Amino acid sequence: MAEATVSEDQFICPVCLDLLKDPVAIACGHSYCMSCITDCWDQEDQKRVYSCPQCRQTFSPRPSISKNTMLAEVVEKLKKTELKAAVPAGPGDVECDICTGRKHKAVKSCLVCLESYCQTHFESHQEFRSGKRHKVIDATGRLQQMICQKHEKLLEVFCRTDQRCVCMMCAMDEHKNHETVSTAAERTEKELYHECVMVYLLCIYKYTHINYIFRKYLHVYTFIYLYSYILYYI
């Protein structure tokens, strides 16, 4: 299974993060889907200098590209193997946003790309984004709820004035004069408060229990004392 994962990683397009479609290999040695590298280079037509999206090596004039039939055959075999071995996401699972056809179970969600990834596509995401720090969490189906609908930024600030989470843009704009803290700090403070409340309730319980035992002991002691007194004098 480990070998299959390693092999698959070698045939992931660094642009779309999916298995290569109509694969082409450019002069620097990196491979892409024909449509992906074509789109990238179309955007560079005005500069007349074309680059590899992965290693940034430049080419001029625009290189001609053609489908690598041998590589395409390997990818097709890999797809067939993957379809047999892969377990699709079940009910309640978060689906991988990159998988085409049968969706695999997502293991991680990226709060920058706003996508969830299965293990294979997550590894490709990490490799392609190696120069950038993306915030990644365990796969969640609540990804859109963690993003500001106005600025499409992560809700990483908690406004204590309005008692809601906001993004950095909102914090610097409409919440500029409000009392704000990071969501992590607010979460930590609430967890500490919850722990303090639990400790307090535990102390109350123990005090009540001890008080009950003491009263019971006092009652028994009083009974024994009175009984002894009666026996002695009678």
- Helix-helix angle 2-9:119-128, to 10 degrees: 40
Quote the pLDDT of residue 52: 92
* pLDDT tens per residue across all 234 residues of the chain: 344 444 566 788 888 877 888 999 999 989 999 999 999 999 888 888 999 988 889 998 999 999 998 888 888 887 766 555 555 677 888 888 888 877 888 888 888 788 888 887 887 776 666 556 677 888 888 887 888 888 878 888 999 999 988 998 899 888 988 998 888 788 788 888 888 999 989 999 898 989 888 888 888 888 888 878 777 776
Res 185: pLDDT: 83
- List alpha helices for the chain, DSSP H: 2-9, 34-42, 69-85, 119-128, 168-172, 183-233
CA gap 214, 105 in Å, rounded:
58
pTM of full prediction above 0.75: no
C-beta separation of 32 from 8 below 8 A = no
CB neighbour list of residue 78: distance below 8 Å, 6 or more residues apart: 7, 8, 11, 19
Residue type, 93: D
Domains defined along the chain, listed by start = 1-85 (3.30.40.10), 86-146 (no CATH)
> What's the token pair of residue 157?
């600030």
Backbone angles phi, psi at 43, to 5 degrees: -75, -15
Q: Give the Cα separation of 95 and 97 in Å (integer).
A: 6
Query: What pLDDT, on the 0 to 100 scale, is given for residue 178?
Result: 92
Radius of gyration of the chain (CA): 32
Residue 4 pLDDT: 43
Q: Are 94 and 105 in contact (CB under 8 A)?
A: yes
Q: What are the beta bridge partners of residue 95?
A: 105
Amino acid identity for residue 173 in this structure: D
Which residue, 192, 160, 191, is CA-closest to 177?
160
Q: What is the pLDDT of residue 232?
A: 75
Helix (H/G/I), strand (E/B), else coil: 80: helix
